[in-house]
Amino acid sequence: MHLSDNLPRIDRRVAIQWMLTAAATVAVRDPQAWAAELPITAKGYGTDPSMVKIYQPGDVWPLTFSEPQKRAARALCDVIIPADDTSPSASAVGVPDFIDEWISSPYPAQAGDRPIILDGLKWIDEEAKRRFQKTFADLTLEQQTAICDDLATGQPKPEHKKAASFFKRFRDLTAGGYYTTPEGMKAIGYVGNVPSATFDGPPVEALKHVGLA
């Protein structure tokens, strides 16, 4: 069972308004730990993007994730949506790249997610080291799941509340990224955007339901 099974499937084009309260400042800051504060200088797509060009992550603005952050993101994505007999995992269809591009973009809604995701990936690696003496990506699936289970509960412990907020947002982005890929659409049986030579109109049952038949 996927940790995302009970979530509504969201469209990655919808900017979800959600902001994390500011964390307490500290006297000495590690540049990697505080990467969330690095300024975003990109100008965005502009008013008239090319609709026929296929953009790759990093083509329009610089990406953010360091290699350790990429590893943690890939591992967490695959705990949330692992591969099964019919569908690939989240990392296999590029969801970590989507999240990296999302938090790297110069738009207000995504800018709110930037510190949440970066601070959360830092936390999850620190928590993995505290519990199991390894980074999150290097843990067994059982160990990774043990950490995620503490965050996925509806009533996290007080010390896990901030991390639980991160996990919820990361899970939403993972689901949104995954279920708007061709593989994700296939996994939920979505068959829209497929050309058809004929159109038979709505079924009689639907017309009766709205009083038109």
Per-residue pLDDT of 109-159, as tens digits, reads 898 999 999 999 999 999 999 999 999 999 999 999 999 999 998 889 999
User: Which value, to the nearest 10 degrees, does the dihedral of the CA atoms of residues 194, 52, 171, 69 take?
Assistant: 140
HSE toward the beta carbon, residue 73, CA cutoff 13 A = 26
The pTM assigned to this predicted structure is 0.72
Digitized pLDDT (tens) for each residue of the chain, 213 residues in all: 444 444 333 333 332 232 222 222 222 334 344 344 556 766 766 666 677 888 888 888 899 999 999 999 999 999 999 999 999 999 999 999 999 999 999 888 898 999 999 999 999 999 999 999 999 999 999 999 999 999 998 889 999 999 999 999 999 999 999 999 999 999 988 887 778 788 888 889 999 999 998
